[in-house]
Amino acid sequence: MIAQILQLDGHSSTVAVGAAFPILSLIVFSPWVGAALLAVFRGVAPSVSRTLALIFSLGPLALGLIALNAFNPALVAPQFVESHLWITALNVHYHLGLDGLSLVLVLLTGIITPVALLASWRVDHCPRMFGVLFLLIEGAALGVFLALDFFHWFVFWELSLVPAFFLIKLWGGPGASRAAYQFVIYTIGGSAFMLLGFAALYVATGTLDFTQLAQLAADGTIGAKLAALGGIWPKAVFVGVFLGLAVKVPLWPFHTWLPSAYAEAPVGGSMFLTGVMSKMGVYGFLRILWPIFPAQLHAATPCLLGLALAGVVLGAYAAMKQTDLKRMVAYSSVNHLSYCLLALFAVSYATGRPGLHAEAATAALSGTILQMFNHGLSAAALFCCVGVLESRAGGKRGLNDFGGVRTAAPIFAGLCGISLFSSLGLPGLNGFVGEFLIFRGVFGLHAGAAAIACFGLLATAIFLLTFWQRVFHGPRAGAAADGKFSDLSGIELAPLLPLVALMFVLGVWPQLLAGLINPLVTSWAGHLVLP
């Protein structure tokens, strides 16, 4: 029935569809309803609180699938739009909308959150509050992916920090307190610059709406209005917004908070941080920085390409040097997300230059979005696997603390191996498709950058295969040597099986996701002209 209400036809207005049924608001706020209920019912048993948190975390996924059923990929403009005047004096609207990019990330968030809660099922320290924080961070992330006005987009952006801070600090490892404060200070520092940048944009344009700002940027109005404020303002506003997003991804060298935060966070927290929150930064580059500041981004790309390549190559080599498995996977995230920024910067670099190939730009942008989704699956699965190893070894998670796990726990070895090879980009698994498209696009836009990035692929293969060989092969050693290393239980299988199943499905049928974004990225690539 809901799908029928939302069903689009070629002549329907997206605003009318949104007004008929506010599905986007339900997607954003349904986890917060669950968080409020869990906060109120303080006397429930731990098993009940875990179950309620899991049920409410599945709500956005169910609603996202309903929206997917009614979504029309051929329409580039946002669908199911909800727009209501909120703060008249500031021209602020409550404005939500869904396009292919947003839909992919809504589905990713809806998948990662419940599997992260399943991976945290045995958390015995205040499980009710753990569930509350997880539902709060899920709703905040969904708000970031759906908001189209900076005012409440920024509210969601900042609100995501609060539950993340407490998840790391209260349920993390020995260095959790320092890691949590470092994470918040870095991110809030970047956000402060971004807020100042948008304040200047508002003074110049009188609006905070992303769609209107993109239109003003396309016809050169923003550049002219900022230049009227002073010669330095266009660059200063761009740098402010850039810093807020670069810290979140993070782009090298703004990544120094990440290894500690990911390593010290509880397993479920690490899964969400890498699977969802890191994508908020890349999403901001695609939704905000690139459409609103095309000329400034184009001018900065010679430097930004170098930073992205540093993340690709140095991130992989840093991972290769780690003996802590969690820090290894954390640096791997720096490497994999830098591919996304490399593709975006290569597209921006080639914009307006002779010989720009729309086909290469389309491949790079498609690969970026697919990489965001596929990395979310594989990195979350790897953190889950490291959590299993850590639980079996009494808190140890060193590369040399294990050996021969394959013979002790063959099912676990198989699922972890699939996750490793997905992250490696093995053909037939989901990780291959996004990386292939990124390299296909970047080679056509900036062949030198693509050639340098290949060194990152080599280092990635080395550290992931080292992980596989040291931990799972050879004679039993470390935690697996005493014969008590058991295979996965049912509750440990629950988070890994859906992730691994999706790795296979999207590896052999990437069109399942690519079909949602192809018209959007084709439209983007067809308008790569600087104002």
Residue 152 structure tokens? 């409440």
**What are the Cα distances from residue 49, in Å, to 138, 139, 270?**
17, 18, 21
Q: What is the band of 10 on the pLDDT scale with cuts at 50, 70, 90?
A: very low
Which pLDDT belongs to residue 527?
A: 67
Residue 522 in 3-state DSSP? helix
pLDDT tens digits, 304-328: 999 999 999 999 999 999 988 999 9
Q: DSSP labels for 323-379?
A: -BHHHHHHHHHHHHHHHHHHHHHHHHHHTTSTT--HHHHHHHHHHHHHHHHHHHHHH
pLDDT tens digits, 21-74: 899 999 999 999 999 999 998 888 888 999 999 999 999 999 999 999 999 998
Residue 465 structure tokens? 């295969």
517 inside domain = yes
Read off the pLDDT of each residue in 240-254 and give the average, rounded to a whole number. Answer: 89
71 inside domain = no
CB-based contact 217:223 (threshold 8 Å): yes
Read off the pLDDT of each residue in 1-26 and give the average, rounded to a whole number. Answer: 51
pLDDT of 13 > 70? The answer is no
pLDDT of 531 > 60? The answer is no
Which pLDDT belongs to residue 62?
A: 95
Which pLDDT belongs to residue 477?
A: 80
Read off the pLDDT of each residue in 70-85 and give the average, rounded to a whole number. Answer: 90
343 inside domain = yes
Q: What is the band of 501 on the pLDDT scale with cuts at 50, 70, 90?
A: very high
Read off the pLDDT of each residue in 482-511 and give the average, rounded to a whole number. Answer: 90
Which pLDDT belongs to residue 526?
A: 72
Which pLDDT belongs to residue 256?
A: 87
pLDDT of 446 > 50? The answer is yes
pTM, two decimals, is: 0.90
Number of other residues whose CB lies within 10 A of the CB of residue 90: 12
Read off the pLDDT of each residue in 463-486 and give the average, rounded to a whole number. Answer: 84
User: The domain containing residue 448 runs over which residues?
Assistant: 295-531
pLDDT tens digits, 113-142: 999 999 999 888 888 999 999 999 999 999
Which pLDDT belongs to residue 354?
A: 65
Distance CA(171)–CA(528), nearest Å, equals: 46
88 inside domain = no
Read off the pLDDT of each residue in 322-341 and give the average, rounded to a whole number. Answer: 91
76 inside domain = no
**What are the Cα distances from residue 391, in Å, to 169, 193, 326, 397, 414?**
19, 40, 13, 9, 18
Which pLDDT belongs to residue 9?
A: 37
Least confident of 269-278, 383-392, 519-528: 519-528
Which pLDDT belongs to residue 21?
A: 80
Which pLDDT belongs to residue 19?
A: 43
Q: Into how many domains does the chain fold?
A: 1
Residue 212 structure tokens? 């209107």
Share of the chain above pLDDT 70, in %: 94
pLDDT of 5 > 70? The answer is no
Which pLDDT belongs to residue 37?
A: 92
Which pLDDT belongs to residue 18?
A: 40
Q: What is the band of 3 on the pLDDT scale with cuts at 50, 70, 90?
A: very low
What average pLDDT is seen over the chain? 87
**What are the Cα distances from residue 129, in Å, to 36, 56, 114, 187, 247?**
11, 14, 16, 23, 28
pLDDT tens digits, 143-187: 999 999 999 999 999 999 999 999 999 998 888 899 999 999 999
494 inside domain = yes
Distance CA(457)–CA(452), nearest Å, equals: 10
530 inside domain = yes
Which pLDDT belongs to residue 528?
A: 65
